[in-house]
Structure 1
Amino acid sequence: MRQPPQHRIAVDAIKAWRITEVIVMVILLLLVIASFIVGHFFDWALWIPFTALAVWGVLAYLMIFLIPVVRWRRWRYEVFDQEIYVQHGILIVSRTLVPMIRVQHVDTKQGPILKRFNLSNLTVSTAATIHEIPALPQEEAAALRDQISELARVDEDDV
């Protein structure tokens, strides 16, 4: 069996993912608060909004504190001359090999939260799928994009 890839994504990915989840959880909290208001006007049983609040609390803990750390630990990648090796997953760990000969184009993208931490996502497109390596340092993502592009071009010329 092949060894896991060696390269990790940036540690700041944890912070970026946490900020994203805080935004999502604030929106969900507003919905929970709305359930209290609606419940008051429609005479719902009090257990309904309190259950929603309890579920929100558990979900907030998992999504903000636990999952980003586990997600970071599992994300790994490695670029070889003939393939890109990516590992990710939380409960189910996926290991994917992307042959260089199948690579059609490579992009980097950066949203406002990633930009704050000088991170970029690298996407590798093939005819069938798009593979993403998230939260790489900006310079590393650009260098990796250029390296994969060059390796994919060399493979096409050899065929």
Structure 2
Amino acid sequence: MEQEIKMPEQRLAEQTVPALRLGSTVGHGVTAVLLAVLYGLNVWFSWGRWAEWTIAILAALTLLSAVWGIGVRPVLLHRYYRYSADEEFLQLKSGAFHEVHELVPMAKIQAVSTNQGPILRRYNLYSLEIETMGSTHGIPALKKETALELRNMIAVYAKIREVDE
């Protein structure tokens, strides 16, 4: 007897794109400052042409990474990431170019947690982390209410109990 498993339909929060763009902008900004410091040190200490070429190549790679990380990746992640949870499975589907569809049995889930760094806090978003014996799965950006509700629902379905310390 085969049971039809429906494709996941729930999407990430609308604020996912600006939150991911801000995080990527901060990371690439720090990298650009470090490259500028390296260039200044190269000029000051006259390290030679090899250092100039190395810094130029790193700057070009950083620029390409910034175009991907700030411009393209957040939009694709928001457009193609789906999730759902029911009594039997947690389903995660992602990927624009290489589609990945994961089915995580609720019986295999050992822990579920919500995380919120300073950038996600600014947009009132949480990421959800689901741990099994062999791997960790994540949902990158959910509204606070959705994340807490989903965390509690997974905990109930997976029969996870909170441990008081």
With normalisation by structure 1, the TM-score equals 0.85
**2:132 corresponds to which letter in structure 1?**
T
Mapped to 2, the partners of 1:51 and 1:115 lie a distance apart of 35
Q: What SS does the corresponding residue of 1:104 show, helix, strand or coil?
A: strand
Quick check: 1:42 aligned with 2:36?
no
What is the CA distance between 1:148 and its match in structure 2?
Answer: 1.3
Q: What is the match of residue 108 of structure 2?
A: 102
Contact 1:39 1:49 in 2 (8 A): no
**1:101 corresponds to which letter in structure 2?**
A
Contact 1:104 1:127 in 2 (8 A): yes
Mapped to 1, the partners of 2:20 and 2:84 lie a distance apart of 22
**1:77 corresponds to which letter in structure 2?**
Y
What is the CA distance between 1:125 and its match in structure 2?
Answer: 1.7
What is the CA distance between 1:47 and its match in structure 2?
Answer: 4.6
What is the CA distance between 1:48 and its match in structure 2?
Answer: 4.4
1:89-128 to 2 correspondence within 5 Å?
89-128=95-134
Mapped to 2, the partners of 1:52 and 1:115 lie a distance apart of 31
Instruction: Give the 3 Å change call, closer, same or farther, for CA 126–56 of structure 1 in structure 2.
Output: closer
Q: What SS does the corresponding residue of 2:8 show, helix, strand or coil?
A: coil
Moved more, 53-62 or 115-124: 53-62
Contact 1:76 1:87 in 2 (8 A): yes
1:31 to 27, 31, 34: 34
What is the CA distance between 1:104 and its match in structure 2?
Answer: 1.7
**2:113 corresponds to which letter in structure 1?**
D
Quick check: 1:84 aligned with 2:90?
yes
Unaligned 5+ segments in structure 2 are: 161-165
With normalisation by structure 2, the TM-score equals 0.82
What is the CA distance between 1:10 and its match in structure 2?
Answer: 0.6
Corresponding pairs, count:
154
Unaligned 5+ segments in structure 1 are: 155-159
User: Root-mean-square deviation (CA), in Å?
Assistant: 2.2
Question: Which segments of structure 1 move beyond 4 Å, counting only runs of 4 or more?
Answer: 45-48
Q: What is the match of residue 19 of structure 2?
A: 16
